[in-house]
Amino acid sequence: MSTLDVGAYSPREKGVVGLLGALGALLLIAVVTGFLAPAYLLYLVGLSAMYMLLSMGLNVQWGYGGMINFSVAAFFGLGAYGTALLTASGSPISGGVSPVIALFGGLALAAVLAVIIGYPTLKLRDDYLAIASLGLAEVVRIFILNESQWTAGSAGLTGIPLFFSDWPVLGDLTYPYVFYAGGTPVFNMSQSVVTSFLNVVLVTVIVAAVYLFLRRIHQSPWGRVLRTIRTDEDLAETLGKNTFAFKMQAFVIGSLIMALAGVFYSHLVLFVSPQDLQPITTFYVWVAVILGGTGSDRGAMLGGFTIVAIQQGTRFMTDTGALPIGAAPLRLMLVGLLIIFIVRLRPEGILPPERELIWPDSLGGGRDE
């Protein structure tokens, strides 16, 4: 093994960026030629970003600190239900709260649950969190399914407003929205395109903010202690680090990011049901993190994107009639194949962490990430 790269972008990252650029160009062409509806493309972007958030959240827990959390779907679901219960017109509890405030409701729910599940298990060895979280995801899902007086049960919650619904300008656009340049109408957009576009703007801001936040806390003494805990918790203890506190912080942060994905999902799809909390979501996110490169934020984002590409790409292929079998089995088969390929060829993932966790500014000028 050679020395670890401490410089800027590695060749591998450049390759991935190139590949993504090509894919983006392809999608754009598909839109321009009318092969793909613009609103649908924007929806796909939103969905990818949501998976990126979920993967980044799990990466904080598993990639930074080595904590095995099998209840990604539960934290995602709490975010989604938290905001939905507060804002939706069909909510059996309150409804009508502004999404901007409800956002914090979803986050608070997730944080409380993270502390409740983390407190007893993070003091123990890794496996206990795995076991407890495995059960937790199902407990949350079945609770939502059965306690219909609070959650509307299996019917799900309808009437969730758009995130910007009560914003001054963005909330009361009239449709079709006409875009003027110098007094002449340039193009008009249907409501679905405008709302999808706003969603993409929202999620881009969220993903960017989360990424920048994570980059700062990861490449720091804090991230370094977690990396030490991941390889050897006893070692971190002997060096005077309160490993429980560090793990708890990472666990809560990761859970909050997952809940953020859930909040966004609610306002993207405008409908949530217990179906959204199926364990398969957790499974997909794990695949995303491992595929992307455990411990790397960029890897987690790439992994999240790849999962959506497989999920939606297979759907797209069945629509064109190019497939002899249905999309659902094909999707699972592709994911299975992907896992085998990773384990055989790139056990460390596509973009494994390559950087030292040292505060970048202290390494002398010019070395930005």
User: Cβ closer to another protein: 195 or 294?
Assistant: 294
As beta bridge partners, residue 184 has: 181
Options 58, 78, 144, 236; binder of another protein; rule CB under 8 A: 236
**Site string (201-220) toward another protein, x via CB under 8 A:** ---------------xx--x
Options 127, 147, 172, 232; binder of another protein; rule CB under 8 A: 232
User: Cβ closer to another protein: 89 or 242?
Assistant: 242
Instruction: Work out whether 242 is an interface residue with another protein (CB under 8 A).
Output: yes
What is the CB neighbour count within 10 angstroms for residue 254?
28
The whole-angstrom separation of Cα 210 and Cα 59 is 12
**Site size for another protein (CB under 8 A):** 37
Cβ 277 vs Cβ 141: under 8 Å: yes
Instruction: Work out whether 358 is an interface residue with another protein (CB under 8 A).
Output: yes
Question: Least distance from C-beta 82 to another protein, angstroms?
Answer: 23
Options 231, 345, 365, 368; binder of another protein; rule CB under 8 A: 231
Q: Which residues contact 208 (CB under 8 A, 6 or more apart)?
A: none
First vs last C-alpha separation in the chain: 21
- Fill in the DSSP letter of residue 4: P
Query: Quick one: tokens of 272?
Result: 């949530």
DSSP for 232-275 reads -HHHHHHTT--HHHHHHHHHHHHHHHHHHHHHHHHHHHS-B-GG
Which residues from 281-310 bind another protein, rule CB under 8 A?
295
**Site string (325-354) toward another protein, x via CB under 8 A:** ----------------------------x-
The whole-angstrom separation of Cα 126 and Cα 272 is 32
Cβ 296 vs Cβ 352: under 8 Å: yes
Question: Least distance from C-beta 246 to another protein, angstroms?
Answer: 8
Instruction: Work out whether 61 is an interface residue with another protein (CB under 8 A).
Output: no
Beta strands in 64-202 (DSSP E): 177-181, 184-189
Options 243, 255, 266, 311; binder of another protein; rule CB under 8 A: 243
Question: Least distance from C-beta 362 to another protein, angstroms?
Answer: 3
> Contact residues for another protein (CB under 8 A)?
1, 3-4, 6, 216-217, 220-222, 224-225, 227-228, 231-232, 234-243, 246, 249, 253, 295, 353, 356-359, 361-363
